[in-house]
Amino acid sequence: MSNSRHFRLILASASPRRAEILRHAGFSFVVRPCRVDESIRGGESAARHVARLAREKALACAKRVSGPAIILGADTVVVLGRHILGKPSSPANARHMLRLLSGRTHRVLTGIALLRLASDGRTRVLSAVESTRVTFAPLGAREIAAYVSSGEPMGKAGAYAIQGRAGRFVTRIEGCYFNVVGLPLSRLCRMLRAMRV
């Protein structure tokens, strides 16, 4: 889009990790977090869940923004078999999640939605879901307890932060590393280019 330089990039997320990824990649943006109900709907797949929440966050943010702007919504979950693991609700829940992940391969799914608000009020939405496979080493009870007591698992999908202390648990990763952190950077850049055509 020829007038893309006139569009502000707005991150509709309170995640410091997403903001850090954007900042380190050289993006100029503002943060406008928007809360939405993150409950999983009956029969909803993990991919549809993260895609829906990313879109809902972008749309909720758009109600408080006057254009022109490009709003970025995102949501991340960890998937192990039929289990969809979001943010742990308690330290006990975090320990349970880490026991499930111990010695196994899981997928990290991030839904991202870009909503373009034009000055004439027109909107355009572009959505995608990125998937990365992550394998954990077997974790002992004491190792899990020590990690949970650090406080790092709270507020993280699947109860871990690959860029933090949990990096020592990871034996293999297939796909985008930044997706596991919470924002698939390469996919986002491709979407931004497509949005500006």
**Whole-number pLDDT of residue 122:** 81
Instruction: Decide which of 188 and 3 is more confident.
Output: 188
List the one residue out of 109, 114, 110 whose CA is nearest residue 10: 114
Instruction: Please give the residue that has the higher pLDDT: either 82 or 5.
Output: 82
Question: Is the per-residue pLDDT at 62 higher than 60?
Answer: yes
Task: Fill in the amino acid letter for 116.
Answer: R
Average pLDDT on 120-126 reads 85
* 120 annotated active-site: no
Average pLDDT, stretch 66-78?
92
Has residue 4 got a pLDDT over 80?
no
Please, what is the average pLDDT of the chain? 92
- 62 vs 90 pLDDT, higher one: 90
State which fold the 4-195 domain adopts. Answer: Maf protein (3.90.950)
Contact of 172 with 135, CB cutoff 8 Å: yes
| Catalytic choice (46, 61, 69, 75) | 75
pLDDT of 6 strictly over 90: no
Residue type, 179: N
Question: The whole model's pTM is what?
Answer: 0.90
Give mean pLDDT, residues 46-68: 91
* pLDDT in the model for residue 166: 97
> Which H or E run includes 193?
helix 185-195
What proportion of the chain, given as a percentage, has pLDDT over 70? 96
**pLDDT the model gives residue 178:** 97
Average pLDDT over residues 37-62: 91
91-111 average pLDDT score:
98
Rounded CA-CA distance 172/177 in Å is 11
In this prediction, what percent of the chain has a pLDDT beyond 90? 79
Q: Record the tokens describing residue 123, joined without a space.
A: 């909107």
N-term to C-term CA, the chain: 4
The pLDDT, as a whole number, for residue 5 is 52
3 — pLDDT class (breaks 50, 70, 90): very low
